[in-house]
A and B are shown apart, each in its own frame.
Chain A
Amino acid sequence: MGLISNGTTLLDAGALDSGVATGAMTLIKTLTASSDGTLSFVHGASSVVFDGTYKEYIFKCVNMHASSDNSQGQEFEFNVSIDSGSNYNVAKTTTTFRSGHNETDTTTQLSYVGSYDLANGTGFQGVTEGDGIDNDQCCSGTIHIYNPADTTFVKHYMSNFNAYRHNDFSANWYTAGYVNTTSAVNAIRFRFLGGNMDSGTIKMYGIK
């Protein structure tokens, strides 16, 4: 039975009517870290959709907090898979730049960071660097990935994060690039370069 209001069908056959304008940004999955080494979104596993259903996917990483430090802080990073998560090692060519400003107002920065880009490298791509592990230190940001299921073109991505560095800087990181494969990308993994993710939330959205 349909649900009709003022002559307009709103609900029918177990779904909203196609004429009803709904949000274009669909929450697919939320993963919450609790001393985890990695967080992975794999198409077809645990209700994750990561295929041609959407042409744009957005990952929002909120308050990612590392469990262990070294003298230079931690790097939050990601990699993708073309074999449903068996391997996270796809070639990427990327760029990285960042601005920074410390709490004592003695230093500002804006520079390209060549040590965190990749030239067809298959390693994990850093989206921050130097993250601190004080109780209130973390990083947050967003990654957009376009048309991962495409089998003709490379897959572009763009990310923007802000990190509270171990040396009490605010660092705004911009990384972007392309996954240099014509195979479909069907999984993505997040981690810190060293140690676990003590806490943090990653939300995955599909954009209609």
Chain B
Amino acid sequence: MAIISNAVTIADAGSFSVGLGAMTFIKELNTSGGAAANMTFHHGASSVVLDSTYPIYKFVFINMHPATNATFWTFQANSAGGADFNEQITSTTFRAVHTEAGSGQMDYIASTDQANGTAFQYIQSDGDIKTDNDSCISGELLIFNPSSTTFVKHFIAHSNHMVNNSQSSDNYISGYFNTTAALDEFQFKFASGNIESGTIKLYGIKDS
């Protein structure tokens, strides 16, 4: 039975008909159970949705702290039915940095971009993350239309972290997965060592 108020259908067939917000929380992974080698979101597993349900997906990573000193925060994708996280990526990276001693600059960082490379993409540019107790990286990653089988899949990441030599690094990483296969699995990890602590949240952004 529908619930109708003032001629507007509020709920019907087991769900609300009115808008309850365009940004939907899907899944959180964290290290409450201990350090992890990686964090992986796979459509259909553990309540994860990563298909055509949403045109945009947003990952927010908060206080990601490495177990190993001088390492990098990275991600890759796997196509639906694929065996490995090795999709081709063409990407750009630039960043602004400023040391606690007062030296700042902004540069394109060619060492962390990829030209149809299949490696894990650094979500930060140069400047490895400290393992000091208070050091970490936080930021977000947007993935556009990962289920498309026509277009490449664009991504845009923005993050800030404390670099090994005590500087703030503001990183802008973007690019595209150069494949027309649907992507339904994303994995985050440090380039070396475990994720000692941190939280990653996955959201879906509605288009209507």
Residues of A within 8 A of B (CB): 3, 5-8, 10, 20-25, 55-56, 93-97, 111-112, 114, 117-120, 144, 146-147, 150, 152-154, 156-158, 174-178, 180, 182, 207-208
Q: Quick one: CB contact mask for B166-193 with A, threshold 8 Å, 1 for yes?
A: 1111100000000000000000000000
B62 contacts partner chain A, Cβ-Cβ < 8 Å = yes
* CB closest residue in chain A, given B95: A95
A175 to chain B: which residues have CB within 8 Å? 170
**Cβ-closest 9 pairs across A and B:** A23-B21, A8-B14, A176-B170, A6-B14, A95-B96, A112-B106, A119-B102, A146-B138, A24-B25
B98 to chain A: which residues have CB within 8 Å? 93-96, 117-119, 177
Assess whether A56 is in contact with B24, with CB atoms less than 8 Å apart: no
Query: Interface on chain B toward A: helix, strand, loop, or mixed SS?
Result: strand
A23, A178, A208 pick with most chain B CB within 10 angstroms: A178
A6-B14, A95-B97 known; A207-B139 Cβ under 8 A: no
Please name 10 further chain A to chain B contacts, defined as beta carbons within 8 Å, in addition to the given A23-B24, A156-B161, sorted by A numbering: A6-B12, A10-B15, A21-B25, A55-B201, A93-B100, A94-B98, A118-B98, A144-B140, A146-B62, A146-B139
How many A-B contacts at CB < 8 Å in the complex? Answer: 140
B5 contacts partner chain A, Cβ-Cβ < 8 Å = no
A55-B199, A117-B104 known; A153-B96 Cβ under 8 A: no
Those of B1-57 within 8 Å (CB) of chain A: 1-3, 11-16, 20-25
Assess whether A182 is in contact with B106, with CB atoms less than 8 Å apart: no
Q: Which one of A94, A153, A178 lies within 8 Å of B65 (CB-CB)?
A: A153
A5-B13, A111-B106 known; A120-B160 Cβ under 8 A: no
How many residues from B make CB contacts under 8 Å with A? 51
B108 nearest CB across to chain A (Å): 11
A5-B3, A5-B12, A24-B23 known; A97-B62 Cβ under 8 A: no
* CB closest residue in chain A, given B101: A119
Q: Which one of A25, A96, A150, A154 lies within 8 Å of B96 (CB-CB)?
A: A96
A95 to chain B: which residues have CB within 8 Å? 96-98, 104, 106, 168-170
* CB closest residue in chain B, given A160: B158
A116 nearest CB across to chain B (Å): 10
A157 to chain B: which residues have CB within 8 Å? 160
